[in-house]
Amino acid sequence: MSDEAATVSVMEIKAITGKAEKSTRMKPFRYKAPENPKRDRALVPLVKTQTLLSMVQVFRGGGGEQELHMHTAMDGFWFVLSGRARFYGEGDELVADLGPHEGVLVPAGAKYWFEAGDCEQLELLQVESIDHRLKNEVVYYADRTRSVVEVYEPDGTIIAPGVRLGGG
């Protein structure tokens, strides 16, 4: 079976794209970085409500979201847990070169991309607030290379070994 045939769409991963049930219960969680991932990129969804999504993105040996894009209805907060990340705006303008415990706010409509800096592993906490009064889309300004990533539970248990980002 080919690697591509073994993948599922990110749209099939409820922890990321599924509709969250409304609840007033608090949800404790504990994050553990994936051990020995087979791919260079992993997603660890932490929590999701009707208006908020949080996950840790893990990159080994480089990588990032390397196509200029923007979100129409999501304000994003990115915080480096370990490693280094560089965030760029239009025209590849360096906006932030971040180390551990540094972050950047990316408001809805801001065009950006990011890459792992010089480090073995980058762990980025991503927190997104979703404005449901607007259509929630990602707009790309360059050809998109669809990544295949692993998805893990916060405790390090694998959910899916091959997930195709970008829908489809």
Q: Which CATH class is domain 8-16+39-152?
A: mainly beta
Give domain limits for the chain.
8-16+39-152
The residues with which 149 forms a beta bridge, in sequence order, are 163
Instruction: Compute CA distances 131 → 38, 43, 67, 135, whole Å.
Output: 35, 22, 23, 8
Q: What is the pLDDT of residues 104-144, one digit of tens each?
A: 999 999 999 999 988 899 999 999 999 989 998 989 897 77
pLDDT at residue 168 greater than cutoff 50: no
Contact between 95 and 87 under an 8 Å Cβ cutoff? The reply is yes
Quote the pTM value.
0.88
CA–CA separation, 59 vs 136, rounded Å?
25
Contact between 34 and 150 under an 8 Å Cβ cutoff? The reply is yes
Once rounded to an integer, what is the mean pLDDT over residues 82-107?
97
